[in-house]
Amino acid sequence: MATYPDTDKIKDIIEAANTIVIVQADNPDADSLGSALALEQILHDLGKTPYLYSGAEMPGYLRYLTGWDRVEKELPNKFDASIIVDASTMTLLEKLTKSNQQGWLASKPCIVLDHHEIVDNKVPFSTVEINDHNRSSTGELIYLISKQLGWNMSQVAQENIMHSILGDTQGLSNQLATAETYRIMADMIEAGVDRPYLEEKRREYSKMPLSIFRYKADLIKRTEFKENDSIALLVIPQDEINKYSPLYNPGPLIQGDMLQTKNVRVAIVLKYYDDKKVTAAIRANIGAPIAAGLAEHFGGGGHKYAGGFKTSPNQDIDKIKQECFDKSIELLKQIVD
C-alpha cells in the first residue's frame, strides 16, 4: 500500500488537538461527505471531538449517507485544528471566505487531504497537504493514511470510505479505480462492510417523485450534442435550481444519462444563476480523460474523469457554452492525435 512522508505531521496535529473541524467544499458530493463522515468516526474513536462543516446544504441525493444532517453551515466558536477534505483550492471554499471565517481556519493548524489532479488557487494556509491524484477518491487516501498511522477504522468509518470510493469511481466503473482501489474494497468487505446493502440504500434514496421524473424528461429534450454527439451539454437556470434542488439535484439527475448516451464522451452541466454566474460539473467516459483539462481552462480543477469550475458574475451563457464545446473538441482531438 502507498505511504506518505507527511503523516507524522498529521499525527502531531491530531494528537495536540481536541476539537477538530472537518471542512467540505461548497459543492459536496459522495466523496467529500463520505470522507468527512469517515474522519468523524475515526477522530471520535481517537478521543477527539469532530465537527462537520460545509458552506452549502447537503444535496438531497446524498442523504442516504447516515450522518449528513450533522453537517453544519457555521464554524464552531472554538476549535483547535481543521481538516479540509476533497478540496485543496480556495475557489471551492467561497462561502467560507465571504462569511469572513477563512481567517479562523488560517489561525489554527490545517490539514488538506485531496486527490484532484489539477488545482488552481491552492489553500495558502495549510500546515500540511497531501494531494495524491493517483487515488480514486479522498476516501481512499484517508484509508491509506489511517492504515499508515495505525488508526482504528470501525465498520462505520469503512462504510463511509466505501461510499466515497463508489461515488467518485461511478461504482468502480471508471478508470479512477486502480488495482489498489479494488484491494482496499476487498479488505473492507472482508472486514464486514456490506456493499450490496450500501448500494440498496443509495438506490432507495435516489428514487424520484413523479414531478422529478417529468422534469428529467424536459432536461433530456434540452440537452445539446456536438461533434458527432461526443459532447453533451445542458444549461440549468436559477429558477429550476430553486424549484427542483430540494427534491433532487438537477445535475446528478441527468448527467449519468448523458454519459450513457451512445457516442457521448464528455457530459457538461452548467448552472446559470440570476447574477449570471456559471458553475459547471464535468464528467467524462473512459477513454476521454479531459475533465480536469476543461475545468482548468476556466480556472477550475478536478481529475481526469470529473472536474468543475465556477465563474464570476455577469457572464454570457452562450459564450460559455460555445467555449465549452470548442475546448472539449480541442482536448478530444489531442487524445486521438
DSSP assignments along 236-282, one per residue: EEHHHHHHHTTT--HHHHHHHHHHTSTT--EEEEEEE-TT--EEEEE
Cα–Cα distances (Å) from 5 to 9, 11, 130, 224, 292, in that order, read 9, 12, 9, 46, 26
What is the architecture, at CATH level 2, of domain 211-336?
Roll (3.10)
- Which CATH number is 7-202's, of 3.30.230.70, 2.60.40.10, 3.90.1640.10, 3.20.20.70? 3.90.1640.10
Q: Are 249 and 60 in contact (CB under 8 A)?
A: yes
CA separation for the pair 271, 125 (Å, rounded): 30
Give the pLDDT confidence score for residue 285 in this predicted structure: 92
- The set of residues, in sequence order, having a beta carbon less than 8 Å from that of 290 and lying 6+ positions away, is 265, 266, 284, 304, 328, 331, 332, 335
- The set of residues, in sequence order, having a beta carbon less than 8 Å from that of 335 and lying 6+ positions away, is 287, 288, 289, 290
Q: Are 115 and 54 in contact (CB under 8 A)?
A: no
CA separation for the pair 281, 135 (Å, rounded): 20
**Cα–Cα–Cα angle for 149, 140, 194, nearest 5°?**
105
pLDDT of the chain along its 337 residues, tens only?
788 999 999 999 999 999 999 999 888 999 999 999 999 999 999 999 999 999 988 888 888 999 999 999 999 999 999 999 999 888 888 888 888 888 899 999 999 999 987 677 789 999 999 999 899 999 999 999 999 999 999 999 999 999 999 988 878 887 789 999 999 999 999 999 999 999 888 888 778 899 999 999 999 999 999 999 999 999 999 999 999 988 888 998 999 999 999 999 999 999 999 999 999 999 999 899 999 999 999 988 888 888 899 899 999 999 999 999 999 999 999 986 5
Specify the 3-state DSSP secondary structure of 298. coil
Give the pLDDT confidence score for residue 93 in this predicted structure: 87
Give the pLDDT confidence score for residue 239 in this predicted structure: 96
CATH 3.90.1640.10 residue ranges of the chain are 7-202
Nearest CA among 245, 300, 311 for reference residue 272: 311
Which residues partner with 114 through β-bridges?
A: 131
Give the pLDDT confidence score for residue 119 in this predicted structure: 72
- The set of residues, in sequence order, having a beta carbon less than 8 Å from that of 177 and lying 6+ positions away, is 136, 165, 169
Give the pLDDT confidence score for residue 272 in this predicted structure: 97
Specify the 3-state DSSP secondary structure of 1. coil
CA separation for the pair 211, 233 (Å, rounded): 22
pTM above 0.85, yes or no: no
- Alpha carbon dihedral 77, 83, 86, 91, in 10-degree steps, equals 50
CATH 3.10.310.30 residue ranges of the chain are 211-336
**Residue 89's CB: how many other CB atoms inside 10 A?**
20
**Cell numbers representing residue 233 in the block:** 451539454
Give the pLDDT confidence score for residue 61 in this predicted structure: 81
